[in-house]
Amino acid sequence: PSPPRSPQNAPAFMNPRRLFKPSPLLQRSREDTRTARRDLFLKKVQNGRLDKTMAARGGEDEMMRMVYVAEQKRWERNLERAAPRIGTGEEELEVEEEVDEVDPTLELVCKTNDWFWVPGDGFDEYLDMDGAELEDLLSQMDLDV
């Protein structure tokens, strides 16, 4: 029989190439472990309370409806702020009433989305003046066509 092998003659795969060093993340102090368990327990209790509260309110369906309504209201508020007001028929009626009250020799003219009244006989002069301004603007621009 052969003599028993000594640890020095052990195969290479049994001897680690580097020393084992335990992970510092796994080595918690007793206090850290206790705190982690307590936090986990308290979170579990809190989640249980929230589940009971949600069930009392009607469950997840009711909560989802409340979230949907809140998001819809927020979207409508943003839309109202961002979008220009769309005119209704009432504003058009008000303009027509104002037309009846204005001197019939005046004509309603729109320039850059602003409506204003000009004398009826001055409308052609206004158009000529507007055309002259346009010609001046075009002559100042360098058009390389």
**Three-state secondary structure call for residue 104:** coil
The pLDDT of residue 65: 83
**Three-state secondary structure call for residue 112:** coil
Q: How far apart are CA 108 and CA 98, in angstroms?
A: 11
Which run of H or E residues covers position 115?
A: strand 114-119
**Beta carbons of 67 and 61 less than 8 angstroms apart:** no
**Three-state secondary structure call for residue 110:** strand
The pLDDT of residue 18: 74
The pLDDT of residue 145: 47
The pLDDT of residue 100: 53
The pLDDT of residue 45: 97
User: Would you give per-residue pLDDT tens digits along the chain (145 residues)?
Assistant: 566 666 566 677 777 777 777 777 777 788 888 999 999 999 999 999 988 887 887 777 777 888 899 999 999 888 887 776 665 556 666 655 555 555 555 555 555 555 555 555 666 777 788 888 888 888 887 665 4
The pLDDT of residue 39: 96
The pTM of this model reads 0.28
